[in-house]
Amino acid sequence: MSSAVERFAARLEDLEQRVACLEARQRGRDELRVAALVALAASTPSLTFTAVSAIRHAEQAAPELLAALRAAGVDRPRTLGRWLRTVQQTPVAGLRVECQGKNGDGALWVFRSAP
Domain range for 87 is 3-113
- Dump pLDDT digits (tens) for 85-106: 998 988 888 889 999 999 988 9
Q: What is the pLDDT of residue 57?
A: 94
Is the CA virtual torsion 112, 30, 56, 104 positive or negative? negative
Q: pLDDT exceeding 90 applies to what percent of the chain?
A: 54
Is the CA virtual torsion 34, 43, 77, 115 positive or negative? positive
Full-model pTM? 0.72
97 DSSP β-pair partners? 111
- Dump pLDDT digits (tens) for 50-75: 999 999 999 999 999 999 999 999 99
Overall domain count for the chain: 1
- Which one, of 35, 18, 10, 33, lies nearest residue 83 by Cα? 33
